[in-house]
Structure 1
Amino acid sequence: MKKRNKIVRIMTLSLLSLCCIKPIQAQEIELKPDPSVQEKGSIHVELEETKDRLSREGVELSLSRVADIKDGSYVLDDLYRSADVDMNDIKTAEGLQEAADTLRPLVKRPLQAKRTDAQGIVDFTDLKVGVYLLYVSDQAGYETIQPTLISVPMWDETAKQMNYHIEVFPKHAPLPALHVRKVDYYDHKSILKEAAFTLYSDAACTKIIKAEKTDPKSGIAVFDGLIYGTVYVKETKAPAGYQLSKEVIKVTINDNWVNGDDKLRTIIFPDRPLPTSGGPNTGDHTNIVGWIFLIGISACATVFFLHRKHEAQ
């Protein structure tokens, strides 16, 4: 009985912690009358509508079987036994998500991979008893989705029985924003004067995705609502008193970018002050030296001609 309670606990964690998984009610399915036939399960996945009403169609979701259920305990499949994951010792929602994140990189080939329809729906059928990892293999134009562990069967608290047909509404969230920060070329301090940057889909910078201005308080331009792919960033308006940068920066938005730290998602554009800029400690010091040199030559020439004139008298 103790082992069975372990299984029920993990299944309940999947249901409560992820807030996106529930068993299809028993009356909605046709149960096999022959108890000698092992029940096969199914997972019905439905993507929720996003705030920006992004397309839910064409997102490729993959399913991999990561563990079996034997004698009331979870047993990782051979491919995943190198992972530091004890499925029978998961007690919290955070532990469940951590296990999913740990197992995801070990997947070599999915058991099934299917693309969602226009309503963001896909069905995985003919599933043996076990634990499955659901993850995104092609995000298309949708938001980021966390990998999810799903047990088949799952305990149905309402019906007080195991259920083999599960509905999943994956957690999703917008991708982290891309930040572009303006700094002075010489002291690398933020420039708070207004600048503008444009995001392009091509290296030649002819196909505009969107344009943003820097915040007057932080000197940062923010690009949000991005999707996976490659984009190019270019300065299209320099701050007052600064030269326009010709640099084009390529950014590849993928799992590494999403899961990395904020430094990876921040671009720094150093701008040189214009030669006529009069700000302290930010001007072009090469030009100042040049002027000093010319003034010195002029002074020497003046002294020379005055001396020659004095000799001539």
Structure 2
Amino acid sequence: MNRKISAALITGMVAGGALAGSHTILAESDRTPDVTLVPEKDLTKVPENGLGSISIELTESKDNRPRDNVKFGLYKVADVINGEYVLNDDFAQSEVDLNDIKTANDMEEVARKLSRFAYESLVTELVTDYQGKTRADQLSVGVYLLQAEDIAGYEFIAPFLIAIPTWDDVDELFLYDVDVLPKHDQLPKIAVDKVDAATGVAITSNDFQFTSYSDPECKEKLDVVAGNITDGTATFEVDYGITYIKETGAPMGYMLSDEVVKVEINDEGMYVNDSKVDPGDDLIYHYVYNNTLLGGAKTAVGTNAGLLMAIGGASIVIVGIIAIKMKRKQN
């Protein structure tokens, strides 16, 4: 049998019942039904001393990001006791009831909530190879939380739950060796739009540069992006977590700004300077970054400040030459 099952489907099909032997599902389903964590089967029939495994395989992203070195934390969330899922001590304070989950959406919400309590129950850390694969063996019966601790250069992966055994409602058997294809989403980008503070017009035809950092003091450099002189933007691919962006090369004729832009990507969405934003369908959020002319002078709309300075400098030189010649002539 070769069928595909995605992480969303697996996390919505965790159950117990009559032992049907070890089995591995290798592929992805085109359906994600609303099912319960504990469907119609009886958890009392699951041997509490059973063992299984979880294999993870990351599928390719649209922009072919590398799939290696993605680190997952594997946490034991609950055990099977007297025919029910019972949360371990570290997760009991979450007050969720795994036995009362009704839909796959409920399952995803519970996984996000439990991830906030994942401290001391770490079973192991898993790191993917160049094919995006990793595996954990000899796992006891129960429910496990997997969350990406470090996505490296890959995409965002929401935390998800897997149970051993997992119930396959198509073939009606229990899976003790489970292959998972986690859902992953493209991370949004932020485009810093360079704008003249006096005119509100984009600063184009003028070189500038921005740098991203991992710390608010802007000492730990992550990436350097040269501005697009055609549209006056600098676009960053930001990873899950917090990134700080600062101007490190101002357009000619403008003051270097000390403004630091805080960008955060988390389970709830995208935040810029601690305010939630909508990156839109193209997954690019535009942030207006004002620049002030040196000396505070205003420019005409569409005028290149650098050119104005060059012309002004040339005029001074010409006036100086004329003055010297006139003085010599008088002598």
Deviation at 1:42, TM superposition (A): 0.5
Match of 2:188 among 176, 180, 185: 176
SS in 1 for 2:60: coil
Q: Distance in 1 between matches of 2:150 and 2:70?
A: 6
Deviation at 1:249, TM superposition (A): 5.6
Is 1:277 aligned to residue 303 of structure 2? no
* TM-score, structure 2 as length reference: 0.62
Deviation at 1:174, TM superposition (A): 2.3
SS in 1 for 2:99: helix
8 Å contact kept, 2:7–2:160: no
Match in the other structure for 1:148: 160
Match of 2:235 among 204, 219, 222: 222
Match in the other structure for 1:247: 257
Deviation at 1:250, TM superposition (A): 5.5
Deviation at 1:83, TM superposition (A): 1.0
Is 1:55 aligned to residue 66 of structure 2? yes
Q: Distance in 1 between matches of 2:219 and 2:266?
A: 25
Deviation at 1:131, TM superposition (A): 0.7
Figure out how many residues of one structure are paired with residues of the other and give that number: 253
Q: Distance in 2 between matches of 1:16 and 1:90?
A: 19
Match of 1:166 among 178, 200, 203: 178
**Greater C-alpha radius of gyration:** 1
| CA distance 1:112–1:178, change in 2 (3 Å) | same
Unpaired runs of at least 5, structure 2: 15-20, 26-45, 275-284, 302-331
Deviation at 1:19, TM superposition (A): 4.3
Match in the other structure for 1:111: 123
Q: Distance in 2 between matches of 1:257 and 1:96?
A: 15
| CA distance 1:69–1:28, change in 2 (3 Å) | closer
Q: Distance in 2 between matches of 1:108 and 1:255?
A: 21
| CA distance 1:64–1:251, change in 2 (3 Å) | farther
Match in the other structure for 2:201: 191
| CA distance 1:221–1:192, change in 2 (3 Å) | same
| CA distance 1:145–1:159, change in 2 (3 Å) | same
Superposition pairs of residues 1-313 of structure 1, within 5 angstroms: 18-19=8-9, 26=22, 38-109=49-120, 110-185=122-197, 190-194=200-204, 197-200=208-211, 209-213=224-228, 221-224=234-237, 226=239, 232-234=245-247, 236=249, 238=251, 243-247=253-257, 259-264=269-274, 267-273=287-293, 275=297, 277-278=299-300
Q: Distance in 1 between matches of 2:24 and 2:7?
A: 24
Deviation at 1:191, TM superposition (A): 2.6
Deviation at 1:206, TM superposition (A): 9.6
| CA distance 1:43–1:192, change in 2 (3 Å) | same
| CA distance 1:121–1:270, change in 2 (3 Å) | same
| CA distance 1:267–1:67, change in 2 (3 Å) | same
SS in 1 for 2:182: coil
Q: Distance in 2 between matches of 1:214 and 1:88?
A: 57
Cα deviations across residues 83-113 of structure 1 (Å, max 9, x unaligned)?
A: 1422122222221111111111211131110
Match in the other structure for 2:282: none
Deviation at 1:50, TM superposition (A): 1.7
Identity across the alignment (%) = 29
8 Å contact kept, 2:69–2:127: yes
* TM-score, structure 1 as length reference: 0.65
8 Å contact kept, 2:165–2:175: yes
Q: Distance in 2 between matches of 1:198 and 1:215?
A: 14
Unpaired runs of at least 5, structure 1: 1-14, 30-34, 280-313
Q: Distance in 1 between matches of 2:257 and 2:189?
A: 21
Q: Distance in 1 between matches of 2:168 and 2:299?
A: 71
8 Å contact kept, 1:175–1:258: no
